[in-house]
Amino acid sequence: MAAKMSSTEIPRRKFLVAGSLSVAAACLNPKRLFAQEDALVQKAFKVAAATKLTVQPLRRNVTVLLGPGGNIAVLTGPDGKLLVDAEIFTAQPHVAEALASINGDPIKQLINTHWHFDHTGGNAWLHEAGASILAQENTRKHLLVDTRVEGWFHTFPASPPGALPTTVFKEDHTVHANNSTLVLKHYLPAHTDSDISVHFTEADIFHAGDTFWNRNYPFIDYSTGGSIDGQIRAAEANIAKVTDKMIVIPGHGAVGGKADLLLFRDVLAGIREKVAALKKQGRTLNEIIAAKPGAKTDAEWGNGFKTGDEFVALVYQGV
Ligand SMILES: [Zn+2]
């Protein structure tokens, strides 16, 4: 289960820190908003084009691909490859290389954990390569039309027909493939309104999508149904579901287990309580940021995707 370390970690972190800083600047200084427009998304495309993925075998026939976008789970066997999530579209050559390094079997199925570009960006080419696409119905709904994410200052254009999920479900769905049973479950609105978990029951591996960021502050997409309280509620649901024996794949960060889910819930809930109390006292966002509600975790958790200050701003928006 030990991760093969890779040189890709360093450039990814550099990008994310740089991207995060520009978002923070835009948040704190609205006049600069236009100039900073979607720098983070544009940078993500560039970094994904230049970053190799790390291939980490987990248990039985499940492997995880760790890269600059969302973590991809790969289930192998006689039915061909089944993927959970599809990375950023510019990661295509690196995803293809990583998949080929597992075996030469064709790509047959793709499940999206939610609609975001760093999880669905590869839908079109994977569909062309032979995958049918399955997702919660809100994933299809958002991909069908131009969709603005205020937190990224970016409007994502409607996806081409080939990138759209061909099968959707509302709450629960079961997939049988490669002598495995996959149980899919929709969360109540959490990180978005389209989040699902995928449990590989025989391997006992749980992909939580972006309801779980391992030792990283999460992005929360208020534009498509996400909220801090929803994110915490999903963390509670994961804790209730996951056993000590399960391997847990986060949307972002290293593969973990139940203890990491507990920590994630505690960190989010702790910061939420502090921010809510200060906001209730009438403190401004800048005053609350200066109070450093995440002082204990900022150095580690704010080092990648969201700085501590940006995460406080996301929490402030929802309490
Ligand atoms: Zn996401």
Question: What percent of the chain has pLDDT above 90?
Answer: 86
Q: Residue 21 above 80 pLDDT?
A: no
Question: Is-contact 236 215, C-beta < 8 A?
Answer: no
Distance from Cα 206 to the centre of ligand 1, integer Å = 17
Distance from Cα 114 to the centre of ligand 1, integer Å = 7
Which tokens hold the place of 7?
Answer: 């040189």
Least confidently predicted of 27-31, 141-145, 261-265 = 27-31
Distance from Cα 66 to the centre of ligand 1, integer Å = 15
Least confidently predicted of 42-46, 55-59, 239-243, 294-298 = 42-46
Distance from Cα 281 to the centre of ligand 1, integer Å = 32
Distance from Cα 194 to the centre of ligand 1, integer Å = 10
Decide: helix, strand or coil at residue 319. Answer: coil
Distance from Cα 186 to the centre of ligand 1, integer Å = 14
Distance from Cα 221 to the centre of ligand 1, integer Å = 7
Q: How far apart are CA 116 and CA 252, in angstroms?
A: 13
Burial class (CB in 10 A: 0-12, 13-18, 19+), 261: buried
Distance from Cα 172 to the centre of ligand 1, integer Å = 20
**Helix orientation angle between 9-28 and 39-50, rounded to the nearest 10 degrees:** 180
Question: What percent of the chain has pLDDT above 70?
Answer: 88
For residue 103, the model assigns a pLDDT of 98
For residue 304, the model assigns a pLDDT of 80
Distance from Cα 102 to the centre of ligand 1, integer Å = 26
Banded model confidence at residue 24, pLDDT cuts 50, 70, 90:
very low
Distance from Cα 252 to the centre of ligand 1, integer Å = 9
Other beta carbons within 10 angstroms of residue 112's beta carbon come to 29
Distance from Cα 282 to the centre of ligand 1, integer Å = 31
Question: Is-contact 192 113, C-beta < 8 A?
Answer: no
- pTM score: 0.89
Q: For residues 168-181, give the mean pLDDT.
A: 98
Distance from Cα 218 to the centre of ligand 1, integer Å = 9
Distance from Cα 210 to the centre of ligand 1, integer Å = 5
Distance from Cα 179 to the centre of ligand 1, integer Å = 29
Banded model confidence at residue 37, pLDDT cuts 50, 70, 90:
low
Average pLDDT, the chain: 91
Backbone angles phi, psi at 15, to 5 degrees: -60, -50
Distance from Cα 178 to the centre of ligand 1, integer Å = 27
